[in-house]
Amino acid sequence: MSLIRLWLFVFALLCATTIQAQTTIDIDFDSNGVIDERDFKALTQAFGTNQLRYDLRPDGKVDFQDLLVFVKAFSQRNTSISVEQVFTQNAVAQIDFFNPSTLGSRPHDLIVDAQGRVWFTDSGTHQIGRIDPRTETIVGFPLNTLGGQPNSITLDAQGRVWFTEVSGNRIGRFDPFSEESRAFTIPTPGSRPKSLAFDDKGFLWFGESSGGRIGRLDPATESVDEFPLQISGSNLCGIGIDAVGRIWFAELTSGRLGMLNPETEAVSLFDLSEGDLDIRQLILDNAGSIWFTDAQRGQLGQFNIETKRTVFYALPKELAETHAINSDRSGRIWIAGQTTQYIAQLDPKTRRLILYQLPVSAFSIENIDIDFTGAIWITDPDGNRIGRITTGS
């Protein structure tokens, strides 16, 4: 922001304290979901015109009075942080384990396909694994690139398996029909790609945990583009895509959420707390919220994309080091601590949390997915196994 605009903003803020702001006013002029310097600049550039979009009073012209309304609305944005209590109910659940045939496979991430089969990454033995729950068989598919350390996993519309290779600095693709694999090298060396997700146009987006970039792979052209985030010491630990195609990510180093607008390549950051956070994973729901786990305080966070309001849910001590998260078809949030013998389900509408105790000693839960029967699948890399949890509900 230029010095002149900065002084103009401060002066308007002082004057704006005497006027009544319209609580429903829309000052996101470029409709990118963020109210920032671009919106302020657009308004000042419209001074002296009668453009309805910027006539906030309205009185038929755009002038300093509209700036006062803008600044008042800006200062009253709902960016508050609150802590909510949950209503805990205790229950028990059952778990069955599936062990990959190769020792030291360390299964990391997993996803359930349309047929109910479970695909997972073997980070220790460089394989893609598959479990068929109907036959309870488990198969491993060795990849043709060595030492890549497969990490996160997802599926495309054709049922092909895509994954990140943290050590190999590649994005991998495995075709279940031909059993052939391909790898696509990321331009930035040592970027350590982790989380990944498809948008509705078929592009694959991924976060570079050490590269300070968001990457995009076009499966049609097999080209890889990167978007620098300009964040010093960036360490990305999650990625998701909202309904309008914006890319959201968690910034582990500073405990913030970030958003990349692919059309403008603009990056926005959002502080979530006055203290340090240790965000491990995030998901986006269908109601416009980002849910994330905070291992530092053992809590669950909910960030509203539109209002920018953050709500933290205080969790029972059994969910300390809150780590894995996912949602089921009913919109309920499933969470687990990284070393635990519990898994929990939160209903966002009622704030009722069901804490399920598992009939095993504490073990590691790295990632979660839920199949169409309601069974919860987890990876346990330290135990070299995949778990299927059934709750009976």
Task: Give dist(CA 65, CA 153) in Å, integer.
Answer: 52
pLDDT single digits (tens) 287-307: 999 999 999 899 999 999 988
Same domain, 93 and 62: no
Percentage of the chain lying above the pLDDT 90 cut: 64
Rounded to 5, what percent of the chain is helix, strand, coil? Answer: 10, 45, 45
Same domain, 8 and 134: no
pLDDT at 22: 44
pLDDT single digits (tens) 99-132: 998 888 999 999 999 999 999 999 999 999 999 9
Average pLDDT over residues 124-146: 92
pLDDT at 211: 79
Where residue 274 sits, what CATH number does that domain have?
A: 2.130.10.10
- In whole numbers, what is the pLDDT of the chain averaged over residues? 88
* Residue where the block lists tokens 């809590």: 299
Percentage of the chain lying above the pLDDT 70 cut: 88
pLDDT at 147: 82
**Of the listed ranges 7-11, 225-229, 245-249, 334-338, the one predicted with least confidence:** 7-11
Same domain, 131 and 105: yes
pLDDT single digits (tens) 161-215: 999 999 999 999 999 999 999 999 999 999 999 999 999 999 999 999 987 899 9
State yes or no: pLDDT of 382 exceeds 80: yes
pLDDT at 25: 67
Most confident range (mean pLDDT) of 51-65, 245-259, 323-337 is: 323-337
**What's the number of domains the chain is made of?**
2
Quickly list H helices, the chain.
3-16, 37-45, 64-75
Pairing of strands 87-92, 352-357: parallel
pLDDT single digits (tens) 12-63: 555 544 444 444 567 778 765 556 667 778 888 888 888 888 888 878 888 8
59: Cα separation from own chain's centroid: 43
Task: Give dist(CA 140, CA 130) in Å, integer.
Answer: 6
Same domain, 311 and 349: yes
Domain boundary among 26, 58, 77: 77
Task: Give dist(CA 357, CA 351) in Å, integer.
Answer: 19
Using an 8 Å Cβ cutoff, are 131 and 124 in contact?
no
Same domain, 68 and 209: no
Same domain, 201 and 224: yes
- DSSP classification of residue 317: G
pLDDT at 18: 45
pLDDT at 225: 97
Same domain, 249 and 211: yes
61: Cα separation from own chain's centroid: 42
Rg, C-alpha atoms of the chain: 23
Same domain, 72 and 98: no
Same domain, 65 and 98: no
pTM as predicted:
0.80
Same domain, 34 and 162: no
Domain boundary among 77, 102, 132: 77
Domain boundary among 77, 111, 141: 77
pLDDT single digits (tens) 361-372: 989 999 999 999
Q: Please, how many CA atoms are within 13 Å of residue 323, restricted to the half-sphere of its CB?
A: 20
State yes or no: pLDDT of 253 exceeds 80: no
Q: Please, how many CA atoms are within 13 Å of residue 185, restricted to the half-sphere of its CB?
A: 5
pLDDT at 56: 84
DSSP-derived 3-state class of residue 78: coil
Task: Give dist(CA 21, CA 278) in Å, integer.
Answer: 36
| pLDDT classification of 380: cutoffs 50, 70, 90 | very high
DSSP-derived 3-state class of residue 248: strand
Same domain, 320 and 266: yes
Same domain, 58 and 167: no
pLDDT at 117: 97
382: Cα separation from own chain's centroid: 24
Q: Domain limits at 42?
A: 3-77
Q: Which long-range contacts (CB under 8 A, 24 or more apart) does 246-253 make?
A: 246/32, 246/33, 247/205, 247/214, 248/282, 248/284, 248/290, 248/305, 249/195, 249/207, 249/214, 249/282, 250/279, 250/281, 250/282, 250/292, 251/279, 252/209, 252/278, 252/279
pLDDT at 104: 87
State yes or no: pLDDT of 2 exceeds 80: no
